[in-house]
Amino acid sequence: MLVNLQFLGAAGTVTGSRYLLESDGVRVLVDCGLFQGSKALRERNWRGIPIHPSELDAVLLTHAHLDHSGGLPVLVSRGFEGKVFATTATAELVEPLLRDAGHLQEHEADYANFKGYAKHRPARPLFTVAEARSAITRMRPTPFHQPMVLGPHFSAHFRRAGHLLGAASVHFALAGEQGTRRVLFSGDVGRSNGVLHLPPERLPAVDYLICEGTYGDRKHPNVDPKDALADVVSRAANRQGALIIPAFAAGRTQEVLYLLRQLEEEGRIPSLPVFVDSPLALECTSAYLRFARELKFGALGATDGRAMWPSRTRFCSSVADSKAINAVEGPCIILSSSGMATGGRVLFHLRRRLSDPRTTVMFVGFMAEGTRGRSLVEGAPEVKIHGRYLPVRAEVIELQGFSAHADQDDLVAWIEGAEAPPGEIFITHAEPAAASALVARLRQRGLRARAARDGERVTLA
């Protein structure tokens, strides 16, 4: 039995997760993610994969983030006709995320055509809302641990990875004459002490482990995000100003709401009006609520919104609801996307309040180079929003302690805690420095590890 694995993305970089696994004439793709970041990376989204999509039997998604799922509409529109397996929660979360991404792509193409700056004329979206919807019809929601039969000797199941609602590792079993080969793709590995997401399940005994290494060379600061948040909210409330939190709609928004709820209950912050200004965040929060049992607050026996968000929370769906927030005076909290302030409704709130010294702007998580969020946390005296420069008089804070990814210590502990040491480890989903640091540490522990190379094809004997 020959098993071939090819790294078609997220090798030497942190986006574009896609791995091709072939055995016995069965071909599956683990993840079908978008490349994000530099222009050279983004252009790879148009190139597709080296085989015709119709030759693929199935796709297995580890989780809903677009760098793992956002290539699906393109794959389907180019001829993929198989099933897309994902955990039940991932299937629910990926639907609004793909639709929203399609909407954004269409909007950007229209805008480029209107402004006449498109390189390709007319500018085309990478995929449309209709293509996103058609990809969603291929989804086959599959509970954790339920076997998926992919071929006569080829099966798999999902295991909890933490990280995000529904996030999974994929465990493959490939039966042959010399016994069964076990291959596990980690997906994105969550932290052992996440705010809302449960820790990853114990790693089983496997012959090959394909493991993410986003933070393979770093340790997360030892900060409790709850204490840090309590501090920021109290200061903002004392100043009688708004606290604006640009936050990604899935995961981060729910974590912040949950911590605010706890702080309010414990009397550590005043009960303030909280506006969640994003239709996408509303849809994602509903998914979090439906799958409460898979999260930490579900374990507390609380499965309604009262346990999940502060008492004075309002979800703003319509544009009118969003505009109405402009009239709010006095202390309040506004959660809105995009998380790096590159677009979305949060820009309207920044435009309205950034030059008011009573305002606090709190960024949560990593700010990529070249984003408005990065300029603000680096202390820019003014930023351009909707074509106008605005002086920054608000207090800008970068809240530490939130990360959805395991750091180096977490990853090493997860791997060392396996039922048996993995036979061989390939590090993916990491910048080269992070991958080599993690590889070095794993080798010190006597493990066989190396960084995956982009496009590389390996035979798993």
Q: The tokens of 401 are what?
A: 């302690």
Query: Which residue in the shown chain puts its C-beta closest to Zn ion?
Result: 65
CB of 151 to Zn ion, least distance (A): 28
Interface segment toward Zn ion; rule CB under 5 A; list 59-67, 73-81, 345-353, 389-397: 59-67
CB-wise, 106 or 188, nearer to Zn ion? 188
Which are the contacts of 38, defined by CB distance < 8 A and separation ≥ 6? Answer: none
- What are the angstrom distances between the C-alpha of 405 and each of 17, 64, 123, 430? 15, 15, 35, 12
Least separation in angstroms between CB 251 and Zn ion:
8
Which region, judged by CB under 5 A, interacts with Zn ion, from 62-70, 89-97, 301-309, 353-361? 62-70
**Minimum Å distance from CB 133 to Zn ion?**
23
DSSP state at residue 98 = H
> Toward Zn ion, which CB reaches closer, 188 or 264?
188
Element containing residue 210 per DSSP (H, E):
strand 208-212
Choose the stretch contacting Zn ion; rule: CB under 5 A; options: 63-71, 228-236, 310-318, 358-366.
Answer: 63-71
Mapped onto helix, strand or coil, the DSSP state of residue 59 is strand
CA-angle at 215, arms to 395 and 190, nearest 5°: 90
Site string for Zn ion, 162-191 (x = CB under 5 A): --------------------------x---
Minimum CB separation from Zn ion for residue 188, in Å? Answer: 4
CB of 457 to Zn ion, least distance (A): 25
For the record, the structure tokens of 160 come out as: 């909890």
Structure tokens at 400: 């530490």
Please report which helix (H) or strand (E) contains residue 259, including its range. helix 252-265
Is 7 or 275 the residue whose CB approaches Zn ion more closely? 7
Instruction: Identify which of residues 92 and 188 has a Cβ nearer to Zn ion in the complex.
Output: 188
Q: By C-beta, is 406 or 460 nearer to Zn ion?
A: 406
**Near Zn ion by CB under 5 A, which window of 65-73, 173-181, 310-318, 379-387?**
65-73
Stretch that binds Zn ion, among 61-69, 122-130, 140-148, 349-357 (CB under 5 A): 61-69
Site string for Zn ion, 14-53 (x = CB under 5 A): ----------------------------------------
Q: Rounded to the nearest 5 degrees, what angle is found at the Cα of 209, between the Cα atoms of 208 and 211?
A: 155
Three-class DSSP category at 300:
coil
CA-CA distance, 25 to 1, in Å (whole number)?
Answer: 11
DSSP readout, 302-331? --SGGGTS-TTEEEE-SHHHHHHGGG--SS
Task: Name the nearest CA neighbour of 373 among 352, 353, 397.
Answer: 397
Nearest distance in Å: CB 63, Zn ion: 6
- 65 is a site residue for Zn ion (CB under 5 A): yes
Closest to Zn ion by CB, 150 or 165: 165
Nearest to Zn ion of 188, 283 (CB atom): 188
Site string for Zn ion, 102-141 (x = CB under 5 A): ----------------------------------------
The Cα–Cα gap between 80 and 350 comes to: 42
Q: How far is the CB of 71 from Zn ion (least distance, A)?
A: 14
Spatial separation of the C-alpha atoms in residues 25 and 2, rounded to whole Å: 10
Phi, psi of 199 (to 5 degrees): -70, 160
- Please work out the total of residues on this chain that contact Zn ion, with binding judged by CB under 5 A: 2
Near Zn ion by CB under 5 A, which window of 64-72, 174-182, 201-209, 363-371?
Answer: 64-72
Of residues 65 and 441, the one with the C-beta less far from Zn ion = 65
- With contacts defined by CB under 5 A, name the span among 57-65, 189-197, 285-293, 410-418 that binds Zn ion: 57-65
Instruction: Determine if the peptide bond prior to 338 is cis (ω within 30°).
Output: yes
Q: Which is nearer to Zn ion, 65 or 197 (CB)?
A: 65
Helices within 276-422 (DSSP H only): 279-290, 296-299, 319-324, 346-353, 372-377, 408-416
> What's the length of the chain?
461
Q: Are 36 and 60 in contact (CB under 8 A)?
A: no
The encoded tokens of residue 410 equal 């977490």
Distance (Å, whole) CA 346 – CA 374: 15
Nearer to Zn ion, 22 or 188 (CB): 188
Residue 419 phi, psi (nearest 5): -60, -30
User: Measured from the CB atom, is 36 or 113 closer to Zn ion?
Assistant: 36
Nearest distance, CB of residue 33 and Zn ion, angstroms: 9
CB of 214 to Zn ion, least distance (A): 8
| Amino acid occupying residue 79 | G
Q: How many helices (H) and strands (E) does the chain have?
A: 14, 22
Tell me which residues in 184-243 interact with Zn ion (CB under 5 A): 188
Q: End-to-end distance of the chain based on CA atoms, in angstroms? A: 8
Nearer CB in complex with Zn ion: 188/277: 188
- Min separation Cβ 243 and Zn ion, Å: 26
CB of 384: closest distance to Zn ion in angstroms?
Answer: 30
Q: How many CB atoms lie within 10 A of CB 112?
A: 18
Nearest-approach distance from CB 459 to Zn ion, in angstroms? 28
Residues that bind Zn ion (CB under 5 A): 65, 188
